[in-house]
C-alpha cells in the first residue's frame, strides 16, 4: 500500500494534527504535479489533432482509458506474489478478503467509469468546436458544481473563504478566456460556437459529479482500497463496453473510424501512459488527501501553467488582462489550500473571545 495511506499509529492530538497536515501538504503537491502533467498532455493532444492530423476525440479518449487496465494487471501480479508468500508462511488463506475487496473495486468502478468517460470525451470533443480559451473558462465551472455536490451529498461545510476562492478562480479564468478570445478575433481565427461551449459546460458538470462520487465511494480511511486497482477496473469496463460507442459514432457519421499512423501511435501511447493514466491516479490520491473542491480548484492551475508553456514553446505574448487573470487563479488555489485551517483558527478565536466576554 502507498505510504500516503500508511496506518495512523499516533494517538496524541498534536501528532494526529501533524499527520493530517502532512497528508494535506502531500495532496497539494500532487495537485501541482498533476496540473503540470496535464498542461504537457494538452500540448501533445494539440499536436495529435492539428500537426499530426488525427482529429478523433473519442478514439483518443477510449485509447487513453483502456490504458488504465495495465494498472489492474500490475495489481493482479502483486496479489499473486502476496498470496504465494502467505501460503509459504502458512498464515492462512487470504483469498476471501482479497476477493471481497476486488469485488468492491469492481462495483465502484462500474458506477464511476461512465461519468469519467463522458466527462473526458466531452472535454476533448469541445476542443474541436470552440477555442481553448472558452474551453478553459467553462471547464473551471466544475469548481462550482463540485462545491454544490459536496454540500448536497457529502455534507461538507463551506465557509466564506471557500466561496471567495471559487469566485477568484472563476473570475481569473474568465479574464484569461476573454483576453484569449480577443486575440483570436483580431487574428481572424475565431472558432467559437455554441455547441463547443455547451459541450465544455456539460463536461465540467459531469466532472464535478465524478469528483464527488470518487470521494463518496472511496473515503480517505478506507483500508485496502488502492487507486491503481480501482482505475484498472475502470479501464477494463471501458475497454469492454466502450467499443460499441465507437462503432455507433462511425455509423452515424459523427466520427469516422481510422487507425493512427506510426508517429501518431507513439504520441497516443505517451499521452495515455503519462497524461492520462499516471496523472489521473495521482489526482485521485490528491482528492483523498485534500477535498474534492481543493483538488478541482487545483486543476485551474493549468491556466497559468499553460500560459508559461505557450511562452516557452510557442513564443506567444500575453496582455495585462491575461496575466492578471492568471494571478487570480493562483490566488484562488492558495486561498482554498489554507481556507479550512485559517477559518478554523478564526472561529476558535471568535469563540474564545465570546467566552471571555460572558465570563466577565
| 37 domain residue, yes or no | yes
| 265 domain residue, yes or no | yes
| 40 domain residue, yes or no | yes
Q: Take residue 278 and report the three cell numbers written for it.
A: 499516471
| 4 domain residue, yes or no | no
Task: List per-residue pLDDT tens for the chain, 360 residues long.
Answer: 333 333 334 444 555 556 567 777 888 888 889 888 988 887 888 788 878 888 899 999 999 899 888 888 877 777 677 666 656 655 555 554 556 778 888 899 999 999 999 999 998 888 777 766 667 667 777 777 887 788 888 777 777 887 888 888 788 878 877 776 676 666 655 555 567 777 888 998 998 899 888 878 876 555 445 677 888 899 999 999 999 999 999 999 989 999 898 889 999 999 888 888 788 778 878 877 877 767 767 777 777 787 788 778 767 777 888 888 888 877 877 777 677 667 667 665 554 555 555 555
User: Which pLDDT score is estimated for 348?
Assistant: 55
Task: Tell me if 290 sits within 8 A of 28, measured CB to CB.
Answer: yes
* Number of domains the chain contains: 1
User: Which pLDDT score is estimated for 186?
Assistant: 67
| 113 domain residue, yes or no | yes
Range of the domain at 115: 12-87+94-218+225-355
Task: Tell me if 231 sits within 8 A of 281, measured CB to CB.
Answer: yes
User: Which pLDDT score is estimated for 206?
Assistant: 94
Smallest CA-to-CA distance from 133 within 195, 188, 196 is with 196
| 5 domain residue, yes or no | no
Distances (CA, A) of 299 to 27, 31, 155, 244: 13, 7, 23, 31
Smallest CA-to-CA distance from 46 within 267, 198, 318 is with 267
Residue 58: its H or E element:
helix 57-66
| 1 domain residue, yes or no | no
Smallest CA-to-CA distance from 212 within 337, 135, 141, 296 is with 296
| 2 domain residue, yes or no | no
Amino acid at each position: 500500500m502507498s505510504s500516503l495511506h500508511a496506518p495512523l499509529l499516533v494517538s496524541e492530538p498534536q501528532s494526529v494534527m501533524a499527520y493530517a497536515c502532512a497528508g494535506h501538504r502531500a495532496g497539494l503537491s500532487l495537485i501541482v504535479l498533476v496540473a503540470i502533467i496535464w498542461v504537457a498532455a494538452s500540448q501533445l493532444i494539440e499536436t495529435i489533432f492539428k500537426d499530426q492530423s488525427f482529429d478523433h476525440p473519442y478514439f483518443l479518449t477510449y485509447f487513453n482509458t483502456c490504458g488504465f487496465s495495465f494498472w489492474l494487471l500490475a495489481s493482479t501480479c502483486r496479489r499473486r506474489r502476496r498470496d504465494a508468500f502467505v501460503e509459504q508462511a502458512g498464515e492462512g488463506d487470504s483469498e476471501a478478503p482479497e476477493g471481497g475487496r476486488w469485488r468492491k473495486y469492481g462495483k465502484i468502478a462500474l458506477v464511476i467509469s461512465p461519468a469519467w468517460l463522458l466527462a473526458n470525451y466531452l472535454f476533448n470533443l469541445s476542443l474541436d468546436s470552440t477555442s481553448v480559451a472558452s474551453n478553459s473558462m467553462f471547464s473551471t465551472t466544475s469548481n462550482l458544481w463540485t462545491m454544490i455536490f459536496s454540500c448536497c451529498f457529502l455534507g461538507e461545510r463551506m465557509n466564506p473563504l471557500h466561496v471567495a476562492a471559487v469566485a477568484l478562480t472563476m473570475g481569473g479564468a474568465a479574464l484569461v478566456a476573454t483576453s484569449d478570445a480577443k486575440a483570436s478575433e483580431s487574428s481572424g481565427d475565431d472558432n467559437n460556437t455554441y455547441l463547443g461551449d455547451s459541450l465544455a459546460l456539460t463536461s465540467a458538470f459531469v466532472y464535478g459529479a465524478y469528483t464527488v462520487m470518487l470521494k463518496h465511494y472511496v473515503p480517505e480511511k478506507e483500508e485496502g482500497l488502492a487507486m491503481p486497482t480501482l482505475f484498472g477496473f475502470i479501464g477494463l469496463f471501458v475497454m469492454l463496453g466502450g467499443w460499441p460507442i465507437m462503432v455507433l459514432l462511425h455509423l452515424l457519421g459523427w466520427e469516422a473510424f481510422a487507425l493512427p499512423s506510426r508517429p501518431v501511435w507513439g504520441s497516443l501511447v505517451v499521452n495515455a501512459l503519462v497524461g492520462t493514466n499516471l496523472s489521473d491516479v495521482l489526482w485521485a490520491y490528491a482528492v483523498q488527501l485534500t477535498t474534492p473542491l481543493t483538488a478541482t480548484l487545483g486543476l485551474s492551475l493549468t491556466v497559468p501553467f499553460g500560459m508559461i508553456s505557450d511562452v516557452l514553446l510557442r513564443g506567444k505574448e500575453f496582455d495585462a488582462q491575461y496575466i492578471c487573470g492568471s494571478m487570480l487563479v493562483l490566488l484562488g488555489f492558495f486561498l482554498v489550500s489554507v481556507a479550512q485551517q485559517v477559518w478554523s483558527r478564526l472561529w476558535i478565536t471568535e469563540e474564545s473571545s465570546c467566552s471571555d466576554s460572558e465570563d466577565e
